[in-house]
Structure 1
Amino acid sequence: MNSKYLPTINAFLETLFSQHATTEAVSWLKEKQELVRTSETGKALYLPFSAAPRYVGKAPVTLTSTALQTANEHRRGFYPANWTLDQLARTILLLSLPSENADNYSKTVLKLFGTADMGELVALYAALPLLPHPEKFVHQATEGIRTNMGNVYEAIALHNPFPSENFSEAAWNQMVLKTIFTGKSISKIYGLDARSNPDLARMLSDYAHERWAAGRTVTPELWRPVGPHLNETILPDIKKLFASFNETEQEAAALACSQSTYPEAQTLLDEHPLLKYKIEEGQLNWSHISNKAIMA
């Protein structure tokens, strides 16, 4: 994130915090912000970052659709829908740290990752798209997707534009596959469609084959990143979905074909005129598939 956006993001977060926190919590945070701003070494960040829940609480921050839209306007892809007061306070403290020197800034922040508990890790990873010098945190984020802590993984992978903007293709593909493997909805991955690629399509097809060979199913959402890269190798998978008795799998097959420029995929879609019509009329899309998967 470009540091020129920091003042507007700071103002937005501080307003949000003051709307939800007690007067005492607001006073505490302002005092600690000033200490962090004037810290020459950055060490003033560590204690309040750790102590934030004790002084501001862990209550959820309720955002209206208008507030979420404003968040996205300040920083594209920023979606703090499920944040808590302590997470908000910790993010404000991170953004209060002097950042003119990229090495000093990143060194101070990265030290927090080394000693963080789960709540602190959630705050750190979710704040990454707001921090200056994003290139300094790419390695930490790619290492973070290996975590077995569900909340921490979600903070990196879901509703977070940092991976889409900074991950290598290999790291991105592993994240998408792990999201499916752990039973989370890939519809919450920011930039999913923009970063679909042939290698990911192959990996997801291979994963589906493994599941099918074991007599298990795969989420119909899996085929969303596959559709744009259908070829003669993957098309039999789509035919299998069309032959399924599961309506959602048939719908996913049609949507995958609709995303493809592969002639045989278009021919296959033409053989299912009702589904093609629903797609053309906007009655069927991947959000429809995701909602059904979540409700299942």
Structure 2
Amino acid sequence: MYSNFLPNTIAFLEQLFDRQATPAAAQWLKEKQNLVRSSETGKDLYLPFSAAPRYVGKSMLSLTPDELEQASQLRKGFNPTNWTTDQLARTILLLSLPHDNADNYSKTILKLFGTADMGELVALYAALPLLPHPEKFVAQATEGIRTNMGNVYEAIALNNPYPFENFIEAAWNQLVLKTIFTGKSLHKIYGLDERSNPDLARMLSDYAHERWAAGRTVTPELWRPVGPYINETIISDIKKLFASENETEHEAAALACTQSSYPEAQALLDQHPLLKHKIKEGQLNWSHIGQKAITA
């Protein structure tokens, strides 16, 4: 299966690159691709991977809706919206490296992680869901969520299906919590609803209590993974949201109740018929809350 995926992915990325790069940059990348493809040890990847910005620039990609749809069809969850030309070139080089030997391939890539600057780390982490032998990079990705570099963290946590597919529950929960700690929107975490779990709900409720005790607020998005696990303890949090003067907190509380089968949550929702109606009619959803968080 992967043997078909890889050439299709490279062809798609090359198409994006050729459309937005200069002829000189395209020629440079083609030459380095050929060099990397014929590399027996993988060492021929290191220099062009590092030098890419000097030869291809660091411009933001401009993707059409059709190209974004093609990316999603090629690899579910793949979203290169915020990629740059050097990131694209680096990913093409990573995918051009011979990968028949999983250990050799992963050692070469992991060595890059060990010496990478911030831009290189962004490219490496964002490329993980496209790389052969993804299981070889779980420890590195799990370690990566501890980074204090915002751009690098976003490359791992946001618009990236790799954590959803590969992280154990503890690492996944830590990713969600850190996304909230760092003020980023949960809306961009791929697979957030599918990976919600009771431990995460408890941790998020505890975090909200700590913030409230300190006189601070919490993002209304926090309640998205909590909704399915409302219980006799968490229901008091939902009541607090409904009692708030903040309209978005009311909306988040209603959405959380909609996700819940807990009888008291359903009873609370019935007390807010307008919000219940908006949810039923598709006028209010977590994407709506997420967009508010992004623009706040």
Q: Give the TM bin, normalised by the shorter chain.
A: over 0.9
- 1:91 counterpart = 2:73: no
Aligned to 1:155: 155
Task: Give the structure-1-normalised TM-score.
Answer: 0.99
CA distance in 1 between counterparts of 2:145 and 2:292 reads 26
Tell me the distance in 2 between the aligned counterparts of 1:179 and 1:283.
26
* Aligned counterparts, 1:20-99, within 5 A: 20-99=20-99
Distance 1:3 1:195, change over 3 A: farther
Q: Give 2:100's aligned residue.
A: 100
2:247 matched residue in structure 1? 247
Q: Provide, for residues 236-255 of structure 1, a one-character-per-residue CA deviation record: whole Å limited to 9, x for no partner.
A: 00000001111110110000
Contact kept? 1:164, 1:191, Cα under 8 Å: yes
Identity within the alignment, %: 80
Instruction: Measure the CA separation in 1 of the matches of 2:2 and 2:209.
Output: 43
Q: 3-state DSSP class of the match of 2:209?
A: helix
Matched to 1:177, the amino acid is L
- 1:236 is matched with which residue? 236
1:179-216 deviation line (CA, Å, top 9, x unaligned): 01100000000000010000000000000000000000
1:275 aligned counterpart, secondary structure: helix
Which 5+ residue runs of structure 2 have no aligned equivalent?
none
Partner of 2:224: 224
Residue 16 of structure 2: SS of its match in structure 1? helix
Quick one: distance in 1 between partners of 2:45 and 2:34?
Answer: 10
Number of matched pairs: 296
CA-to-aligned-CA distance 1:117-174 (integer Å, 9 cap, x gap): 0000000000000001010000000000000000000000000000000000000000
Deviations 1:240-276 (A, max 9, x none): 0001111110110000000011111111111111111
* Aligned pairs (5 A) from 1:105-184: 105-184=105-184
Q: Which deviates further from its counterpart, 159-168 or 3-12?
A: 3-12
Match for 1:194: what amino acid? E
Q: Distance in 2 between matches of 1:235 and 1:65?
A: 41
Kindly provide the amino acid, as one letter, of the partner of residue 173 in structure 1: N
Cα distance in structure 2, aligned partners of 1:52 and 1:154:
21
- Determine the C-alpha separation between the residues in 2 that align with 1:150 and 1:280: 37
CA shift for structure 1 position 3 = 4.2
Contact 1:3 1:132 in 2 (8 A): no
Name structure 1 gaps, 5 residues minimum.
none
Partner-residue secondary structure (3-state), 2:233: coil
Aligned equivalent of 1:270: 270
2: distance between equivalents of 1:3 and 1:123? 22
Secondary structure at the counterpart of residue 201 of structure 1: helix
Residue equivalent to 2:4:
4
For residue 215 of structure 2, give the secondary structure of its aligned residue in structure 1: coil
Distance in 2, matches of 1:57 and 1:88, equals 10
Query: Relative to structure 1, is the Cα distance of residues 132 and 19 closer, same or farther in structure 2, using a 3 angstrom cutoff?
Result: same
- Listed as ranges, the matches of 1:191-210 within 5 Å are 191-210=191-210
TM-score normalised per structure 2: 0.99
Shift of residue 2, structure 1, vs aligned partner: 3.3
d(CA) in 1 for partners of 2:24, 2:294: 40
Distance (whole Å) between structure 2 residues aligned to residue 249 and residue 35 of structure 1: 55
Tell me how far apart the structure 2 counterparts of residues 41 and 233 of structure 1 sit (CA, whole Å): 57
Of 281-290 and 99-108, deviating more is 281-290
Report the alpha carbon displacement of residue 295 of structure 1 after superposing the two structures with TM.
2.3
Distance 1:92 1:295 in 2: 33
Kept in 2, the 8 Å contact 1:2–1:133? The answer is no
